């Protein structure tokens, strides 16, 4: 005797409404909304599922725990930020311009509305409370510093940047920019001051030419200009 369609559905469970990729994205997007509203510590799996309008099984199909969800969010945003930095560098005509493009794009992550809020949200102390989340964050920091390596190496080879140790220099420059951006002893909240402070150290270390000095030199060579001896 054949079972009815209703009996078969009951035996198999409620049919899924979304494919894996869509369902995972819905859970992650809902988590960001709840974290913005309540903070990570106060967020529960039930809160996320209520926001996403999904079942408990929808969560555990993709994430073993709330901390695993946080790690996935950090990775997703880190990869998105990396694509943003790569696009800025790829549009630059030379290694020096590429360095400035990297720095400006990185500062966008820390100061541009929308991007800055997400960066702050996922770098909060309660999000990084687990050892694994802190390790993933370190991986993502390298992911954002890494684009500097090739451009520093190319600039060094071309004689326009001084970087004999591009990997160490990339890590140092990322740490400098990020720390100044967030530290209460730096220039938190002030993008222009943060950039100037980074360049105060980066320019002499990498021997980056001062555009202002070049403009002054160009003006001094204009015909008809007289100079005191």
Measured CA to CA, the distance from residue 115 to residue 131 in angstroms comes to: 25
Residues 122, 56 share a domain: no
Domain of 213, CATH number, reads 1.10.357.10
Helices 115-122 and 20-38 meet at what angle, rounded to 10? 90
Identify the domain boundary among 7, 38, 63: 63
Helices 66-90 and 20-38 meet at what angle, rounded to 10? 100
Q: How confident is the model at residue 14 (pLDDT cuts 50, 70, 90)?
A: low
Q: Residue 76: what pLDDT?
A: 95
Q: What is the pTM of this model?
A: 0.81
Structural domain contains residue 7: no
Residues 209, 124 share a domain: yes
Q: Residue 189: what pLDDT?
A: 85
Structural domain contains residue 95: yes
Of residues 13 and 171, the one with the higher pLDDT is: 171
CA–CA distance from 184 to each of 180, 181, 187, 190 (Å)?
Answer: 8, 9, 7, 11
Domain of 28, CATH number, reads 1.10.10
Measured CA to CA, the distance from residue 63 to residue 48 in angstroms comes to: 12
């Amino acid at each position: 005797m054949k079972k009815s369609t209703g009996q078969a559905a009951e035996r198999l469970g409620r049919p899924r409404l979304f494919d894996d990729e869509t369902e995972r994205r819905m859970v992650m997007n809902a988590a960001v909304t709840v974290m913005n509203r309540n903070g990570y510590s106060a967020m529960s799996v039930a809160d996320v599922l209520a926001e996403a309008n999904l079942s408990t099984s929808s969560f555990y199909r993709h994430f073993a725990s709330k901390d695993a969800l946080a790690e996935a969010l950090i990775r997703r945003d880190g990869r998105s930020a990396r694509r943003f930095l790569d696009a800025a560098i790829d549009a630059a005509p030379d290694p020096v311009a590429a360095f400035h493009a990297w720095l400006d794009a990185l500062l966008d992550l820390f100061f541009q509305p929308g991007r800055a809020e997400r960066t702050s949200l996922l770098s909060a102390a309660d999000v990084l409370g687990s050892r694994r989340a802190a390790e993933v964050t370190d991986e993502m920091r390298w992911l954002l510093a890494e684009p500097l390596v090739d451009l520093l190496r190319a600039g060094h080879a071309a004689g326009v940047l001084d970087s004999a140790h591009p990997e160490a220099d990339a890590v140092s420059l990322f740490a400098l920019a990020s720390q100044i951006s967030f530290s209460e002893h730096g220039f938190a909240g002030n993008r222009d001051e943060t950039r100037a402070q980074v360049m105060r150290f980066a320019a002499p270390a990498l021997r980056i030419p001062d555009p202002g000095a070049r403009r002054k030199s160009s003006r001094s060579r204009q015909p008809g200009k007289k100079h005191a001896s």
